[in-house]
Each structure stands twice: as structure tokens, then as C-alpha cells.
């Protein structure tokens, strides 16, 4: 291998690890408008470029949608069928890939070159042509499944742009393996394993396709459900025809075993909220409290089980359990768009989800589902707590602060008090339902904990000590804030001092932290306090441009030291 070969491998490895070519089309367009014009270049006309013509005929993605219905795995399709060279609306520079989008609530548009080329609604799933530059626009808060990559929830007017997509080739078929999205505007929440993450404008979302085993399992599961539904219908038809033919002689057959047939779009049974608030009456009416309670009662022990399973030496991810949790969590995530639209105060989507009003009602319906309903006296006590803490929540959201993360700190400390006081009102049996054994040891392991909020914003940094943390974290910050080398070195020194407190380094990361990013309870909170202090130090000691200062103030992620 000669020296140039070596350089080529070096540059390629850098690209694989994050140094990616950006989309320069906007920069070039802007520069063209600004600069003096010369003679016009002769560019090929779009209509003459690709084999599929422009306006009149069937669009290639329509063809893709038809073909897609014929394949089993939805996203594993022959690349040749779709890697069309160029229709007028197809993003250039990368092969497009059809991805099925199923919207559960709201509406999602696929935008290519400023034109809406497809849209998906709860009534009409759609196939989006995904390629570098494709944009996904949620005009209002929406919840949707993006092909094999998982489930997302976007705030109102959120714009996502596809930065890259990776593929593997197996058995002659091409399957998408990962998708990188840039959040251009708004906020997006998505689910990874058993946790939920969020990203804001300017941040990058990387989603991995579920592996083949899980996809095959899901396909097989769906096939069995379909077969069961068909058999049930056939059974009922035969039964009805027999009764009609000989209604007198026929004895009533034994009741069939209860089966769970698929019930798409089954309307939710309206259950009134236990604790109300006139300001949020619409929200309270929209949320499906029965589902919230049933799912929460079922999911709580599973989360504790998950964390316990990951504590064992050399533990592997319990995929069956993760699948069950994901399935249940989807039902909770479906409620998020309504929460976001309601304007309930809170730091990010889980901030709204853990608002005292939502928590109080979820607690009541969870206890109902578990057969341990609140007594009238308990309802009165918890109603008082909900009102008091909702007022405090509003005050925290409205307060003016130097750093966004200061709101997260104030909110989580308030919610810790709320959960503590609310827990004090419960009987031991009820407490066992709401706080099952093992729940709350890690962020995200309890649905009644401020850890739900911190889990989304915590970004673990594995390090052996403060200096090691400072090296990795300063590199991330330098990239995020756009610092030069001198600035990055100054930040590194501040960080090394800022995270030197022994309590940050006492306990090594365990299986749940390293594999599921579910931090030990209290770790993210301690890191958050330290971070606000070192952010102030950076502001005072490092020469930042106004733009860098603003980026620092708007930071929403907590860099959490996880001792190796």
C-alpha cells in the first residue's frame, strides 16, 4: 500500500466516524445570487436526464409503493428497481430508497426541492422517497412509524432533513441499516431500546434499522395474527350459518378461548380524567386515560425487570422483554402529540408527560387498572398536590434564565418533591403498583420519576477520570459550538476542573448504563449541577462569539461522566 492509498483509507475512516460531506447546495445557491454573474452554464434539462419523465406519468415513488406492497419485509427491496437515476424531484447525490411511513396521529409531508411529493396521514400510510436532502415536515405535532427505523414524535412545525442513509446487501437484496436525520427546526422524540430520546434544531438523530431477527419476528407475529383473525371470522361465519339452518336442535357451543385479534383504529373508550384543570380541559378530554393506566400498570414492573437483568455479569440485552416494552411504550408515545399541542409546560416532551396534572391522572388510572383505586380522601389530597405543583411548574417555565438547562434542574428538583409527596399519600399496596420493586434505581426505570425527563437529555461520556472526560467532552463541545483549537483547549481545562468532584467518579457504569443509557438515579442530576457551573466558567473565561454564547445558553444535553 503506497502513501496515497494510506491517505485514502485515513480520509475514509474519518468520514465513517463523523467527518461527512455536508450538503452545500444552499451555500452555492446563495453565493451565486450574491456574486457577479458570468455567462450561463448549460445544465442538462431535468426532463432529459432520467428514464422516468417529468410531470405527466406515474411518479417513481408511486411505482415503488405498488411494488412495496408485494414484498414481505417492507424495506428489503431490490435496489435496482428504485435506484432511478434522476426524476425531476428525486434528490441527487445518493440513491433514493422507499420507506413506508405510518402516521398514528397528525400529518407528515415529504418535501423534495421545496415541493411536497408525498404525505401520510392516519388514514393513508405512504411511501416516502428517502435520500440525502429529503425533508420530513410535521406541520402539527405528529406521531409516526418511519419504516424499519422506529417510531418518532415531532412537535408542531418540525422539519427534519435526511443527511445520510446506509445499506447492506444480503442475499441479493438491499436493506437500509441506518438513517441520519438533521433537525432543521422544532423538536423530535424517538425511541431507542427501552428509552426515549429527543433532539432539537441543530442536532443530529441517528436511527438504526431493527435487525433481521426482530423484523422477521414481527413479520411472523403479524402473519400469525392475520391467520388467527381470518380463522376467527371463518369460525363465526360457520357458526352463524349452522344456527340459521337448525336453530332449535343446535346446542350452544362452548365459549371460544379469548383471542386477541388485530383491531386497527379501534376507537378509544373515553374515561374522564380524575383531576381536572379548566385551562387544559381539551387535553384532558383527548388523552386516553384508560390506556395510559393499563399500559403504565403493565409496563412498570417490566422496566424494573429490564434494569435488574442488565445488572448481571456479562448480561445480554433481553430482546423479548425489550420488544414487549417497546410495544407498550408506543401506546404511551401515541399520547405525546396531544400533550405537545396542549402547551402544558415542561422541559421537552417528557417534561410535559411528567407534568403534575398528567402524572396525577395517570396515577389514578393506573391504580384503577390494578384494582387499587384511590379513595375519596386520597383524591382530595392528591388533587391539592396537583394544583400546587402545577402552579410551581408554570412559574418555573415562565422564569427567565441564562441557560436552558437551569430550567431542567429547577423542574426535576420540583418534580422529585412532587413524586415524594404524592407517594406519601398512597397505601402500601398502591405504592407497590406505582413503585414496583426495583423501579427508580435508574433514570427511565420508573414511570413516576423525574428520571424520565433527565434520561432524554443525558448524554453519557464514558471516561476513566476527569481529565479523560474533559478530553472527550471538550471535543464534542468544540464541534457543537464551533470552537477553534485554542478555544477547545481552554474549554478542556475548565471541564477538567468542573467535573473533578469525587462524587461524580465513585461508581463505575453498570450494564444498564453502558448498554441502555439508563443512568443510575442521581448521576445525571449531579452532572447537570456540575455542568451549569462549568458552563458559567466557560462563559467567563473563554472568548466566545455572540453566536457561540447563544449556542452554549441553548444547550439542552447534559454530558454525564460515566466512570469506566
Site residues (vs other proteins, CB under 8 A)? 1-2, 4-19, 21-25, 27-29, 31-32, 35-46, 49, 86, 88, 91-94, 113, 132-133, 166-169, 471-472, 475
144: closest CA among 207, 188, 97, 196? 188
> E-strand spans in 466-553?
none
Closest approach of other proteins to the CB of residue 54, in Å:
11
| Of 92 and 380, CB closest to other proteins | 92
Closest approach of other proteins to the CB of residue 462, in Å:
10
Closest approach of other proteins to the CB of residue 41, in Å:
4
| Of 10 and 220, CB closest to other proteins | 10
Closest approach of other proteins to the CB of residue 32, in Å:
6
Which residues contact residue 344 at a Cβ distance below 8 angstroms, ignoring those fewer than 6 apart? 280, 283, 352, 355, 357, 358
533: cell is 457551573
Q: Crossing angle of helices 319-333/212-245, nearest 10°?
A: 70
| Of 35 and 267, CB closest to other proteins | 35
| Region of residue 500 (phi > 0: left; psi between -120 and 50: alpha; otherwise: beta) | alpha
Closest approach of other proteins to the CB of residue 7, in Å:
6
Closest approach of other proteins to the CB of residue 262, in Å:
37
| Of 442 and 492, CB closest to other proteins | 492
| Of 44 and 420, CB closest to other proteins | 44
| Of 24 and 248, CB closest to other proteins | 24
| Of 23 and 416, CB closest to other proteins | 23
The answer to whether 460 and 562 have CB atoms below 8 angstroms apart is yes
486: cell is 485554542
396: closest CA among 417, 368, 378? 417
| Of 93 and 253, CB closest to other proteins | 93
Which residues contact residue 74 at a Cβ distance below 8 angstroms, ignoring those fewer than 6 apart? 68, 100, 147, 148
Q: What is d(CA 453, CA 346) in angstroms, rounded to the nearest whole number?
A: 9
Closest approach of other proteins to the CB of residue 258, in Å:
45
| Of 116 and 231, CB closest to other proteins | 116
Q: What is d(CA 167, CA 170) in angstroms, rounded to the nearest whole number?
A: 10
Closest approach of other proteins to the CB of residue 517, in Å:
17
Lookup result for grid cell 433514570: 443
32: cell is 451565486
Q: What is d(CA 68, CA 50) in angstroms, rounded to the nearest whole number?
A: 21
The answer to whether 136 and 119 have CB atoms below 8 angstroms apart is no
Phi, psi of 249 (to 5 degrees): -75, -35
The answer to whether 117 and 99 have CB atoms below 8 angstroms apart is no
Q: What is d(CA 42, CA 339) in angstroms, rounded to the nearest whole number?
A: 52
| Of 113 and 140, CB closest to other proteins | 113
Amino acid at each position: 500500500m503506497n502513501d496515497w492509498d494510506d491517505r485514502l483509507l485515513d480520509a475514509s475512516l474519518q468520514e465513517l466516524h463523523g467527518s461527512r460531506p455536508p450538503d452545500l447546495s444552499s451555500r452555492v445557491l446563495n453565493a451565486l445570487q450574491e456574486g457577479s454573474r458570468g455567462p450561463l452554464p448549460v445544465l442538462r434539462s431535468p426532463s432529459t436526464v432520467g428514464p422516468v419523465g417529468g410531470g405527466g406519468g406515474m411518479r417513481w415513488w408511486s411505482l415503488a409503493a405498488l411494488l412495496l406492497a408485494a414484498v414481505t419485509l417492507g424495506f428489503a427491496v431490490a435496489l435496482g428497481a428504485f435506484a432511478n437515476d434522476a426524476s425531476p424531484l428525486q434528490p441527487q447525490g445518493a440513491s433514493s430508497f422507499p420507506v413506508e411511513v405510518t402516521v398514528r396521529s397528525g400529518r407528515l409531508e415529504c418535501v423534495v426541492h421545496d415541493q411536497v411529493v408525498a404525505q401520510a396521514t392516519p388514514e393513508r400510510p405512504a411511501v416516502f422517497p428517502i435520500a440525502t436532502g429529503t425533508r420530513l415536515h410535521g406541520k402539527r405535532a405528529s406521531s409516526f412509524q418511519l419504516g424499519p427505523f422506529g417510531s418518532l414524535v415531532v412537535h408542531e412545525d418540525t422539519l427534519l432533513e435526511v443527511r445520510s442513509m446506509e445499506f447492506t446487501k444480503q442475499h441479493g437484496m438491499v436493506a437500509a441499516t441506518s438513517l441520519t436525520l438533521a433537525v432543521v427546526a422544532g423538536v423530535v422524540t424517538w425511541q431507542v431500546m427501552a428509552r426515549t430520546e429527543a433532539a432539537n434544531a441543530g442536532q443530529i438523530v441517528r436511527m438504526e434499522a431493527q435487525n433481521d431477527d426482530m423484523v422477521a419476528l414481527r413479520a411472523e407475529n403479524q402473519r400469525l395474527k392475520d391467520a388467527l383473525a381470518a380463522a376467527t371470522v371463518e369460525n363465526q361465519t360457520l357458526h352463524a350459518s349452522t344456527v340459521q339452518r337448525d336453530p332449535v336442535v343446535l346446542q350452544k357451543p362452548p365459549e371460544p378461548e379469548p383471542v386477541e385479534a388485530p383491531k386497527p383504529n379501534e376507537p378509544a373508550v373515553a374515561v374522564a380524567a380524575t383531576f381536572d384543570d379548566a385551562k387544559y380541559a381539551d387535553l384532558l378530554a383527548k388523552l386516553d386515560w384508560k390506556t395510559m393506566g393499563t399500559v403504565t400498570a403493565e409496563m412498570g414492573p417490566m422496566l424494573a425487570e429490564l434494569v435488574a437483568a442488565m445488572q448481571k455479569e456479562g448480561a445480554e440485552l433481553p430482546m423479548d422483554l425489550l420488544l414487549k416494552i417497546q410495544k407498550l411504550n408506543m401506546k404511551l408515545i401515541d399520547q405525546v402529540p396531544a400533550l405537545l399541542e396542549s402547551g402544558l409546560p415542561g422541559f421537552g416532551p417528557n417534561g410535559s408527560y411528567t407534568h403534575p396534572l398528567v402524572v396525577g391522572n395517570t396515577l389514578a388510572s393506573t391504580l384503577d387498572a390494578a384494582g387499587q383505586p384511590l379513595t375519596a380522601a386520597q383524591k382530595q389530597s392528591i388533587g391539592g398536590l396537583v394544583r400546587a405543583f402545577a402552579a410551581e411548574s408554570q412559574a418555573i417555565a415562565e422564569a427567565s434564565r441564562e441557560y436552558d438547562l437551569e430550567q431542567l434542574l429547577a423542574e426535576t428538583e420540583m418534580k422529585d418533591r412532587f413524586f415524594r409527596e404524592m407517594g406519601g399519600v398512597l397505601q402500601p399496596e398502591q405504592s407497590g403498583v406505582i413503585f414496583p420493586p426495583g423501579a427508580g434505581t435508574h433514570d427511565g426505570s420508573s414511570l413516576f420519576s423525574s428520571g424520565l425527563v433527565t434520561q432524554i437529555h443525558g448524554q453519557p461520556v464514558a471516561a476513566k477520570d476527569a481529565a479523560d472526560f474533559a478530553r472527550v467532552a471538550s471535543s464534542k463541545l468544540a464541534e457543537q459550538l464551533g470552537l477553534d483549537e485554542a478555544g477547545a483547549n481552554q474549554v478542556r481545562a475548565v471541564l477538567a476542573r468542573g467535573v473533578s468532584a469525587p462524587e461524580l467518579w465513585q461508581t463505575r457504569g453498570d450494564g444498564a448504563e453502558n448498554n441502555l443509557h439508563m443512568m443510575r438515579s442521581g448521576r445525571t442530576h449531579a452532572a447537570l449541577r456540575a455542568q451549569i457551573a462549568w458552563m458559567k466558567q466557560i462563559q467567563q473565561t473563554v472568548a466566545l462569539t455572540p453566536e457561540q454564547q447563544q449556542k452554549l445558553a441553548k444547550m439542552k444535553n447534559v454530558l454525564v461522566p460515566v466512570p469506566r
